[in-house]
Amino acid sequence: MKTIVYDESKANQWLDDPPLEIWDHHIIPLLGLRDLSLSRHVCTFFEAYWQEKFNSNVLPLRVPHDVATIDQAMQVIEILSSRREYTKASPLVVLLGKGEHQITSSWTTPNGMECATTLGITCSNLTFVGKGIDTTTVLGGFGICVLENITFKNMTVTNTNEDGVTINCGICMMNAKVELFDVALKGCDNAGLYIPDSTSETTVVATRCEFADSTWGVEVRGSLTSGTFNNCVFNDNEYDGISGASGSTIHLHGEATAIHSNEMCGIYATDYGKILIHLPSDHNTSYNNGEGDRRLNGATITNVED
């Protein structure tokens, strides 16, 4: 371990020239973006230290530590994104603490659908990270339009509204690129994941995710849309587990893939939709669904060997 030597003749050495090893490894992990920002005017060190950390993008935005709610976090994200450039390789990271995070705002889609308790994401290159599917729960959904490099990890998203008027999805996205890792989208009045027809390339990649207990598990539409699902589970939905329509393309990968116990169809392809199952034909991919494990209507469902 490095020995730190102090010059006792130098006044305020801890403030004006503190050892960076202590700040980087012991103090900053206990603070956060807000704490360090508020300390900028204490002395010259804090301002320089803040600028270095902010510009190098090593300070995540923490909810509720830095901001109280996930709705307020979006406001701060817009401010931070106006002051530095985030990229796919270096996104702005939002850490969601354990417990429930209630979304109170609403979002209106470009075609005029109102989505209650849905947070409209307004900036690209964002990563939302929870503490785990069983630890962090978002009560509400996310609307994503004309954005790229939006990532969600380690959380449950559930969006239920009993007014019978508004549309409530876990994630509604169009003209966007989204990735999901270890996320459960469940208990939604509409679809856990809904992608309507888009006018530009739209992609979603989901890994080890669950789509359950909603009206639809996943609904993907549009000839410019593709969805890739790796080792995902689609179960106990009121209608279909996963649906592809209007020329969309869906890829299912991974031995852990399971589509079961949905009240209507397990896999439903219609209107030139293509669903490609990258598993052997004898793999038990879809089973115990109320109105059939596979259903076609002018579309294709195909097992392919890679």
Mean pLDDT in consecutive groups of 10 residues from the start of the chain, 306 residues:
48 52 65 68 66 73 94 95 93 96 93 89 98 97 97 97 72 97 96 95 98 97 97 98 97 98 98 97 97 96 92
Range of the domain at 30: 13-59
Do 55 and 175 fall within a single domain? no
Do 21 and 142 fall within a single domain? no
Do 17 and 86 fall within a single domain? no
Whether pTM exceeds 0.85:
yes
Do 91 and 173 fall within a single domain? yes
Number of domains, the chain: 2
Give the per-residue pLDDT at 266.
98
Give the per-residue pLDDT at 30.
66
Do 106 and 54 fall within a single domain? no
Q: Looking at the domain assignment, is residue 66 inside a domain?
A: no
Q: Looking at the domain assignment, is residue 233 inside a domain?
A: yes
Do 41 and 106 fall within a single domain? no
Give the per-residue pLDDT at 26.
64
Do 213 and 240 fall within a single domain? yes
Do 124 and 35 fall within a single domain? no
Output the DSSP codes for the chain: -PPP---TTSTTHHHHS--HHHIIIIIGGGS-HHHHHHTTTT-HHHHHHHHHHHHTT---EEETTTSSSHHHHHHHHHHHHHHS---SSSPEEEEE-SEEEE----EE-TTS-EETTEEEE--SSEEEE-S-TTTEEEESEEEEEEEEEEEEEEEEEE----SSSS---SEEEEEEEEEEEEEEEES-SSEEEEE---SS-EEEEEES-EEESSSEEEEEE-TTEEEEEES-EEES-SS-SEEEETT-EEEEE-TT-EEE--SS-SEEEETT-EEEEES-TTS--EES-TT-SEEEESSEEEE---
Do 158 and 244 fall within a single domain? yes
